[in-house]
């Protein structure tokens, strides 16, 4: 191979690695600071809910700011759910999440943003996020799951449905009061599980 | 010089974009395995940016050739090998859209990324269906296609259709879930899945027939055997992404319930993944016990066929790891991702060497 060709090939091959490592170092060095304030962690005041031996807690960041490389920063509603199995046996979980704003507008969780901010949240809370769709929960070995929602403008209240049990889902209500987000209600919504 | 480049810019160049673009997804999935692998997300972004640059650089001469040298296009379309590579550029649209869907929010936020990936979806879909019809028409009407022409590059048109639903369901996942576009994406995806999966079986039988009852292709076509990994691997990707789209649509999408299909999807996806894995071993056996042994494996642009199918299998492994045998498949994902990156590096060096030899300006038809 000629010297010139070798240089061209090396430049092509190294480009993605150089870009990637540079961006990673820039993000993790703290030059792009994490802007988020904690609103609530139900583990601190035992504010979670237990049903059928599954204890659900959550940590809520109402304005987690994420700045894309070439675009303005936007704020997201970020939850980290903590699942603990208080039964004597293993169980398998397959939770799903829906965000509902006034007018019954439903939003799905944004997996991409969760993926980008995962390291920061894991570092902040010192826990590891679960990536599988379904995961095994052993007794008293909590597992954690990051859920991010795009934040509609001028949001004043909302609720999040956590579909976790076969016959019920957890509904968490939030509203803004004195510029602070308040978890004013938690409800277990029963699901129809019969035929027809 | 530019005119010579345009004249000889064959349809196969999209394979290089495919082989680079898919690495951004394998890297992204690998980054999720554990925190020490987090830098791979950004390396994936590097591959995405490189793939976009390659895509733009290749799309210009590829398009100009249609207007400046239509006779060359006709010649390539009639060629039973080269003709099948035409869909690689429309596939690149779909892969660019998939990369934009997954990594675009990191560059310009979710809204722009999801809108842009939808544009890629429709452009890619139109291109894939147009070339799909052109190529099948050519295969039916061309009297000069014989048994000895059958080779695994014939899988590219079915693969091109199979890849449409991957971006279709990725797009239904978040932003377009619950919108008027979701049923459109669903129907287009299902049509493409039907065309791709059934054509894969029909074409596969024709190629199988040649491999059994005739000689196997010469060494320069050896990399095309690798394409056989892709169809089932892509169906696995579709199935898992479809489950995620249903999950994102609050557990029910068009009346399809997540709980009721998840077990079936896990079984089907595992079986199809197994077939791709078996095919990967078959490729290694054929390569080393035949082509390498008889020293008939020349350096060609066609080596790019080693990249994308392996990467598609890597993505399938990473996604299947979200449903079954988590630790085993995550381990395999990391090994396959490393292997895919090594193969890509070798192929880049090989391509530069191949260009240096002047073969690009003197193509063999």
Whether A170 contacts A185, CB under 8 Å: no
- Contact at CB, B348 and A13, closer than 8 angstroms: yes
pLDDT reported for residue B250:
75
A163 touches chain B (CB under 8 A): yes
**Torsion of Cα atoms, A166 then A172 then A173 then A174, to 10°:** -150
Q: How many CB atoms lie within 10 A of CB A52?
A: 13
Q: How many CA atoms lie within 13 A of B150 on its CB side?
A: 17
Model ipTM value: 0.90
Between B35, B102, B355, which is nearest A119 by CB? B35
User: A169 pairs with which residues across the strands?
Assistant: A163, A189
- Contact at CB, A128 and B28, closer than 8 angstroms: no
- Considering only CA atoms, give the Rg of chain B: 20
The pLDDT-based confidence of A125 (bands split at 50, 70, 90) is confident
User: B253 pairs with which residues across the strands?
Assistant: B256
E-strand ranges in chain A read 40-41, 49-51, 54-66, 74-85, 91-93, 96-101, 105-108, 135-137, 143-150, 157-163, 168-177, 180-190
The pLDDT-based confidence of A81 (bands split at 50, 70, 90) is very high
Residue A195: pLDDT over 80: no
- Contact at CB, B102 and A112, closer than 8 angstroms: yes
What does the DSSP assignment read for B153-172? GGGHHHHHHHHHHHHHHHHH
- Domains in chain B (CATH in brackets) are 2-361 (1.50.10.150)
Residue A103: pLDDT over 90: no
Between B27, B41, B105, which is nearest A68 by CB? B105
Residues 6+ apart with CB under 8 A from B222: B286, B287, B291, B296, B297
pLDDT reported for residue B251:
78
The pLDDT-based confidence of A78 (bands split at 50, 70, 90) is very high
Task: Give the H or E element holding residue B1.
Answer: none
Q: Report residue A181: phi and psi, to 5°.
A: -85, 130
For B109, the closest chain A residue by CA position comes to A68
Residue B46: which of B117, B112, B99, B90 has the closest Cα?
B99
Cα distance between residue A149 and residue A155, in whole Å: 12
pLDDT reported for residue A128:
86
Cα distance between residue A161 and residue A148, in whole Å: 13
pLDDT reported for residue A188:
92
Tokens 């987090």 — which residue? B38
A19 touches chain B (CB under 8 A): yes
Total-model pTM: 0.92
Cα distance between residue B77 and residue A58, in whole Å: 58
Reported as a single tens digit per residue, the pLDDT across A8-29 is 999 999 999 999 999 999 887 7
CA distances from B125 to A75, B14, B92, B255, B324 (A): 34, 15, 11, 25, 31
Whether B15 contacts B84, CB under 8 Å: no
- Contact at CB, A2 and B356, closer than 8 angstroms: yes
Strand-strand pairing, A168-177 and A157-163? antiparallel
Whether B306 contacts B230, CB under 8 Å: no
List the structure tokens of A126. 């010192």
- Contact at CB, B107 and A69, closer than 8 angstroms: yes
Residue A31: pLDDT over 70: no
- What rounded mean pLDDT belongs to chain A? 88
pLDDT reported for residue A162:
93
- With 0-12 CB in 10 A as exposed, 13-18 as middle and 19+ as buried, what is A185? exposed
Min Cα distance A22 → chain B (Å) is 8
Residues of B in contact with A17 (CB under 8 A): 43, 46
pLDDT reported for residue A193:
65
Angle at B293 between CA B290 and CA B298, to 5 degrees: 85
Cα distance between residue A62 and residue A78, in whole Å: 6
pLDDT tens per residue across all 365 residues of chain B: 888 899 999 999 999 999 999 999 999 999 988 778 889 999 999 999 999 999 999 999 999 999 999 999 999 999 988 999 999 999 999 999 999 999 999 999 999 999 999 999 999 999 999 999 999 999 899 888 889 899 999 999 999 999 999 999 999 877 787 788 989 999 999 999 999 999 999 999 999 999 999 988 888 889 999 999 999 999 999 999 999 888 887 778 888 888 889 999 999 999 999 999 999 999 999 999 988 888 888 888 999 999 999 999 999 999 999 999 888 999 999 999 999 999 999 999 999 999 998 888 776 65
pLDDT reported for residue A122:
87
Min Cα distance B177 → chain A (Å) is 7
User: B160 pairs with which residues across the strands?
Assistant: none
Residues of A in contact with B112 (CB under 8 A): 71
A121 touches chain B (CB under 8 A): no
B352 touches chain A (CB under 8 A): yes
pLDDT reported for residue A60:
93
**Helix-strand-coil percent breakdown of chain A, rounded to 5?**
20, 45, 35
Q: How many CB atoms lie within 10 A of CB A79?
A: 25
Between A21, A27, A71, which is nearest B108 by CB? A71
For A162, the closest chain B residue by CA position comes to B250
Min Cα distance A40 → chain B (Å) is 25
B102 touches chain A (CB under 8 A): yes
Residues of B in contact with A112 (CB under 8 A): 101-103, 105-106, 110, 113, 174
Residues 6+ apart with CB under 8 A from A39: A60, A61, A62, A180, A181
pLDDT reported for residue A34:
66
Q: Report residue A174: phi and psi, to 5°.
A: -130, 145
CB < 8 Å from A in window 155-194 of B: 173-174, 177-178
Tokens 């996942």 — which residue? B173
Between A1, A28, A150, which is nearest B356 by CB? A1
- Contact at CB, A16 and B352, closer than 8 angstroms: no
pLDDT reported for residue B345:
97
């Amino acid at each position: 191979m000629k010297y010139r060709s070798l240089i061209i090939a090396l430049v092509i091959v190294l480009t993605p690695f150089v870009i990637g490592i540079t961006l990673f170092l820039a993000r993790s060095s703290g030059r792009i600071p994490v802007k988020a304030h904690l609103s609530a962690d139900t583990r601190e005041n035992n504010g979670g809910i237990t049903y059928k031996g599954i204890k659900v807690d959550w940590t809520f960041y109402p304005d987690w700011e994420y700045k894309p490389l070439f675009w303005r920063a936007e704020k997201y509603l970020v939850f980290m759910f903590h699942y603990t199995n208080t039964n004597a046996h293993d169980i398998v979980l397959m939770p799903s999440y829906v965000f509902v704003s006034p007018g019954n507008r439903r939003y799905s969780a944004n997996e991409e943003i969760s993926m980008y901010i995962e390291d920061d949240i894991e570092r902040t809370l010192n826990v590891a996020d679960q990536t599988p769709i379904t995961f095994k929960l052993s007794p008293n070995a909590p597992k954690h799951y990051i859920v991010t929602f795009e934040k509609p403008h001028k949001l004043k209240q909302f609720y999040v449905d956590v579909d976790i049990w076969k016959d019920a889902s957890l509904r968490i209500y939030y509203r803004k009061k004195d510029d602070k987000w308040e978890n004013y209600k938690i409800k277990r919504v029963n699901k129809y599980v019969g035929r027809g | 010089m530019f005119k010579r480049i345009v004249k000889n810019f064959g349809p196969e160049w999209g394979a290089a974009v495919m082989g680079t673009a898919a690495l951004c997804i394998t890297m992204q999935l690998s980054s999720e395995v554990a925190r020490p692998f987090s830098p791979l997300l950004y390396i994936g972004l590097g591959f995405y940016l490189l793939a976009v640059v390659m895509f733009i650089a290749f799309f210009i001469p590829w398009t100009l050739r249609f207007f400046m040298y239509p006779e060359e296009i006709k010649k390539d379309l009639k060629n039973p090998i080269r003709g099948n590579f035409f869909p690689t550029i429309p596939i690149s649209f779909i892969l660019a859209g998939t990369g934009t869907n997954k990594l675009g929010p990191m560059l310009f936020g979710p809204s722009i990324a999801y809108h842009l990936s939808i544009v890629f979806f429709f452009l890619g879909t139109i291109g894939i269906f147009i070339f799909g019809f052109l190529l099948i028409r050519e295969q039916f009407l061309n009297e000069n296609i014989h048994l000895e022409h059958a080779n695994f590059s014939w899988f590219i048109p079915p693969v091109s259709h199979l890849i449409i639903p991957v971006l279709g369901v990725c797009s239904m996942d978040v932003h377009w879930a619950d919108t008027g576009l979701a049923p459109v994406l669903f129907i287009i995806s299902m049509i493409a899945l039907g065309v791709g999966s059934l054509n894969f079986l029909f074409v596969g039988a024709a190629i199988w027939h040649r491999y059994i009852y005739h000689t196997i292709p010469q060494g320069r076509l050896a990399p095309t055997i690798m394409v056989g990994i892709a169809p089932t691997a892509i169906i696995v990707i579709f199935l898992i992404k479809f489950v995620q789209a249903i999950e994102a649509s609050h557990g029910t999408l068009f009346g399809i319930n997540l709980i009721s299909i998840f077990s079936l999807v896990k079984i089907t996806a595992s079986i199809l993944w197994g077939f791709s894995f078996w095919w990967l071993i078959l490729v290694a056996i054929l390569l080393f016990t035949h082509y390498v042994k008889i020293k008939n494996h020349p350096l060609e642009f066609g080596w790019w066929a080693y990249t994308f199918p392996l990467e598609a299998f890597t993505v399938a492994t990473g996604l299947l790891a979200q449903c079954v045998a988590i630790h085993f498949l995550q381990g395999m994902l990391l090994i396959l991702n490393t292997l895919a990156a090594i193969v890509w590096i070798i192929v880049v060096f090989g391509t530069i060497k191949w260009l240096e030899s002047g073969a690009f300006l003197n193509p063999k038809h």
